[in-house]
Chain A
Amino acid sequence: MNTKKKSKAEKVRILPLAAIFLFLVLGAIGISLGEPARVLEQATQICLSCIGIG
């Protein structure tokens, strides 16, 4: 019973770290694919229709 409770508590602590790691890996895959350059290209141009003008 105690082991079960302990393992649940450990899972709660490990889960957020595992999720953060998973998303950092996902971000790293995006970087390796060259997505930041595309994001930068979009973010440095004004999308007029996106802000309701045009």
Chain B
Amino acid sequence: MDFVRKWVQALFFLLTNGYWNFPVTRGIYQGPLKVICSPGLNCYSCPAATSYCPLGALQQLIAGVRLSLENGQFFVGFYVVGAMGAIGSFVGRMVCGWACPFGLFQELLHKIPSPKFGVWRPLRYIKYGLLLFMVILLPLFVVDEFGFGHTWFCMYLCPAGTLEAGLPMLILQPALRANIGLLFFNKLFFLIFFVVWSVLASRPFCRTACPLGAFYGLFSKIKLVKLRLDPVRCTQCKACHSVCPMGVRFNESPEDMDCITCLACSKACNFNAINLEVGGVSLTAQPPGRLKKIHT
């Protein structure tokens, strides 16, 4: 199943970054597909990006909400939140495991041989603070003299933006290098920090700092596609603990907000206690009494 997942991740990477004419144009894609929401974190200032980043678009709309209201335009983010919410209600954080280019990037980094470490569990709550403050409240309330806010998360933190847009644009348009300042080095620091951390720990950005993952995580209890624990079959052997790339203890919290439905736990469970279901209908449940071969 992990093989299939890798192919799906590659497919989504190519679909959301399908503009390969950028070395010629030295700019970004400006076609009509950019009105489509990218399910994962994928900067729309990336030269190859073919869709919009929901976090970037939401911050832009919130930052400019005063000006749009003054002009009689009600651009308050319904379109973007509607797309994000529909995706979240459908698959939740499954997007992180199957369709996010930055998630794929972190997984590939983690394959580099090195000592591996866990992520301190309380750090997982940082991302909800980032969603609330850097994506919503600060762009909304901290405004300049013209009433326009800033895209705080994009400007000061987003490592995906630096990797996919900042660095490529500096290569494509050398004249931009004159504008490099403290802001850029701040963002470069966060990129390097998360790159190094991704080698040492599994998906540290997803687990601690991704506001998009935090948003999708809010749908963990109501999403249509989810993993379900069969408490009758579960022996509490904790085989699901060690394989989870997000540090979820599935047998203890089967509706964990950090579950990315990668199915690693389902594969690791020798008792078929973890099954994928869609709208309450199980897709992978085995008949009673049928167990996987236990490897010793």
Does B176 lie within 8 Å of A17, measured CB to CB?
no
Q: Is the beta-carbon distance between B222 and A16 smaller than 8 angstroms?
A: yes
- Cα-based distance from A29 to B288 in the complex (angstroms): 47
Q: Which of B27, B35, B83, B151 contacts A50 (CB 8 A)?
A: B151
Q: Contact string, A3-45, partner B, CB cutoff 8 A, digits 1/0?
A: 0000001001101110110111111111101111011101110
Instruction: Please judge, given known A-B contacts A33-B74, A50-B154, whether A20 and B86 are in contact too, CB under 8 Å.
Output: yes
Tally of A-B residue pairs with Cβ under 8 A?
A: 155
Q: Is the CB of B32 within 8 A of A16?
A: no
B85 in contact (CB, < 8 A): yes
- Scoring A12, A42, A43 by chain B CB atoms within 10 A of each residue's CB, the highest score goes to A43
CB pair A52 B155 closer than 8 Å: yes
Name B's interface SS: helix
Q: In the bound complex, what is the Cα–Cα distance between A16 and B88 (angstroms)?
A: 9
Query: Does the CB pair B32–A19 fall under 8 Å?
Result: no
- Contacting A at CB under 8 A, from B23-57, are 27-32, 34-35, 43-45, 51-52, 56-57
* Residues of A contacting B151 in the complex (Cβ-Cβ under 8 angstroms): 47, 49-50
- Judge whether B79 and A31 touch: CB under 8 Å: yes
Min Cβ gap B27→A in Å is 7
Task: Kindly provide the distance from the CB of B171 to the nearest chain A CB, expressed in whole angstroms.
Answer: 12
Residues of A within 8 A of B (CB): 9, 12-13, 15-17, 19-20, 22-31, 33-36, 38-40, 42-44, 46-54
For the A-B complex with A19-B222, A27-B82, A29-B78 known, give 10 more contacts whose Cβ atoms are closer than 8 Å.
A16-B224, A17-B279, A23-B82, A35-B77, A39-B79, A40-B35, A49-B150, A51-B45, A52-B161, A52-B184
